[in-house]
Structure 1
Amino acid sequence: MANIVLGVGASHSTLMNTHWEQTTHKAEAQRFRDGLYAARDRIAAARPDVVILLGSNHFRGFWLDLIPPFTLGVGECIASGESGTPEGPQQVDIAMARHLADSLVEGGRFDPAFSARLQIDHGQSHAIQYLLAGLDVPIVPLVVNVFAPPLPTFERCAEFAVALREAVAAYPADSRVAVIASGGLSHRLPWPDWRDPHGDDEDFMVRAWLDGRENWADYDVRRRQIIRAAEAAISPEFDNRVLELFSLGRAAELGGYGTADLEDAAGNGAQELRTWLMMAAMLDYIPGERLAYEVVPEWLTGMGVTVLDPARQPVAR
């Protein structure tokens, strides 16, 4: 059977690629990047045969014409390549992906969407770029809806992850599996609730999310300007508490957050922590190790990295 050998949670920001030279908090930015590289070395040392990659989608592969809560990539996977992230086809473990989809449906608790030609964006490709650099390992991409309400609850995400863990364990091949969660920590994007936009910028964003599937480039310049004009809304107290929960093996407590409560505490971008919770659930909430945390206002985000490693757990007497 397959065995989960490592879990990683890591923040992402395309501004790390496009605005490195303009970043004034350079020391903090470099320490975060070093944390990513340290996590990459831990992944390499774990020797995974496949990486289950949990991430969000920022309205480049999914649009308001269809937003499933959970979508498994079970065939081709195309990275959009925005802002210097990887572009084009990505290597997918199709046998593992289809086994997971079949097992989840046949288990009777979940009916995830699936895609035989999944488009991902930096919500997952940022992790490929930095955490899988130089590693010849296929992925199984899982996109979680965190930006188009109504969102799957944190509790539901945790339940889905447990079912996913069981499906991994039932895989007939002797495969080593790493799980990467991309997203978070606290940050606020200048994105509206699509159901109730206010003002020209929010109306523009919703129109882009509705119509952008065929002509995204027509919206990209102004969209980027709106994002770059946003002020950072980072909550170090919240972020450090989240990282502490992971270090203590108490990440399950994130399941108690409601969508509105989390946005009030840490911004709409913190909704991406659903992927971190799912990663922890797949590792059975073992205690983790904090590799980095930095406040980088130019990137609008509290940037963190944590690792959950079954091989480094205390041996029970």
Structure 2
Amino acid sequence: MGKIVGAFAMSHQLGSPAGVEEQSERVFQGMREIGRRIRALDPDVLVIITSDHLSNFSLTTPAPFAVGTAAAFHPLGDMGLPRDPVPGAPGFAEGLLAFAQERGVAIDRADPIQPDHGVMIPLGIVDPERRFPAVPLYVNTVFYPEPRPADCRRLGELVRDYVTQSPDGARVVLLAGGGLSHWVGTPQEGAVNAPWDRAFLADMLAGDLDALAARDNATILDVAGNGGLEVNAWIVLAAAVPGARGECLFYEAMPTWATGMAGVEMRLG
């Protein structure tokens, strides 16, 4: 039987430290701490629950959820990020697809893909040496209709069941990427809703799945921005580790980065 041995989440944005040096350093140190903790767990598979930014999907293929199944991924290289290949875990990914199909949950196969910063910023921080086979698990936040928080809860429960029922005994770390509040390509770009961020983090850290899944996308869009929909990846993570309580490793409202920046670990019993 497999086991989820770690569950973490972090924003997948980076920016210049100029003018926000102290905030930037707290964010960088928090991200690095997440990386240290994940490397110490030495997982067999690292599942990165995140969003794509119009890099690999289109209106003709607007999958609500998708999983990368390749044996290796070649990053897009946006934001100047490294393009050295990332090892995949095709056996794990294909098993998840089959498991989802048996249970009536729609997850598409994403192959080929070139992961953009939604995958590569978290991965580059936690596994710069490309030690761990990675599986990108995409949550659509760009194409309407986006999966609802309740749908994301169901996906997280599916991931939990798949890992725990898998006969390969894999030790799996989950890493959600994205959020918190931010607006992309809109007149509000640069705004951060810190009170909303803190309220979301409070529910996340309390492991309050009912409160997390009761949110709706229309409200998130209104008060936390189109980029705020990325918190749905965090809801997938929380649902995969029910009962876990979280530790906030950093939170900074950073208008110069146009994002509420946060990172957490969900403590597993």
Corresponding position: 1:244 with 2:202? yes
Matches of 2:210 and 2:127 in 1, distance apart?
26
Report the secondary structure of 1:289's partner residue.
strand
Corresponding position: 1:83 with 2:79? yes
1:25 to 11, 20, 26: 20
- Post-superposition CA distance 1:66-124 (Å, at most 9, x none): 211111111243310111223253210111111111111122x2131102322221111
Corresponding position: 1:278 with 2:247? no
Change (3 A) 1:285 1:301: farther
The aligned amino acid for 1:133 is P
Give runs of aligned pairs for residues 1-317 of structure 1, distance below 5 A.
Answer: 1-13=1-13, 15-16=14-15, 20=16, 23-75=18-70, 76-107=72-103, 109-134=104-129, 136-190=131-185, 231-310=189-268, 313=269
Give the C-alpha shift of residue 297 in structure 1. Answer: 1.3
Give the total of aligned pairs: 268
Matches of 1:134 and 1:89 in 2, distance apart?
10
Give the equivalent residue in structure 2 for 1:216: none
Q: TM-score, normalised by structure 1?
A: 0.81
User: Is the contact made by 1:40 and 1:133 (CA closer than 8 Å) also made in structure 2?
Assistant: no
Give the C-alpha shift of residue 295 in structure 1. Answer: 1.5
Matches of 2:24 and 2:152 in 1, distance apart?
30
Matches of 1:113 and 1:231 in 2, distance apart?
31
> Which has the higher mean CA deviation after the structures are superposed, 122-131 or 70-79?
70-79
Alignment gaps of 5+ in structure 1: 192-228
User: Is the contact made by 1:80 and 1:88 (CA closer than 8 Å) also made in structure 2?
Assistant: no
Give the C-alpha shift of residue 135 in structure 1. Answer: 5.4
Give the C-alpha shift of residue 138 in structure 1. Answer: 0.7
Change (3 A) 1:59 1:96: same
Report the secondary structure of 2:87's partner residue.
coil
User: Is the contact made by 1:252 and 1:277 (CA closer than 8 Å) also made in structure 2?
Assistant: no
User: Is the contact made by 2:62 and 2:140 (CA closer than 8 Å) also made in structure 1?
Assistant: yes
- Post-superposition CA distance 1:16-38 (Å, at most 9, x none): 2xxx25x3111101101110001
Alignment gaps of 5+ in structure 2: none
The aligned amino acid for 1:156 is D
Matches of 1:58 and 1:278 in 2, distance apart?
18
Matches of 1:251 and 1:305 in 2, distance apart?
18
User: Is the contact made by 2:247 and 2:266 (CA closer than 8 Å) also made in structure 1?
Assistant: yes
Give the C-alpha shift of residue 299 in structure 1. Answer: 0.8
The aligned amino acid for 1:67 is P
- Post-superposition CA distance 1:185-217 (Å, at most 9, x none): 0111115xxxxxxxxxxxxxxxxxxxxxxxxxx
User: Is the contact made by 1:183 and 1:275 (CA closer than 8 Å) also made in structure 2?
Assistant: yes
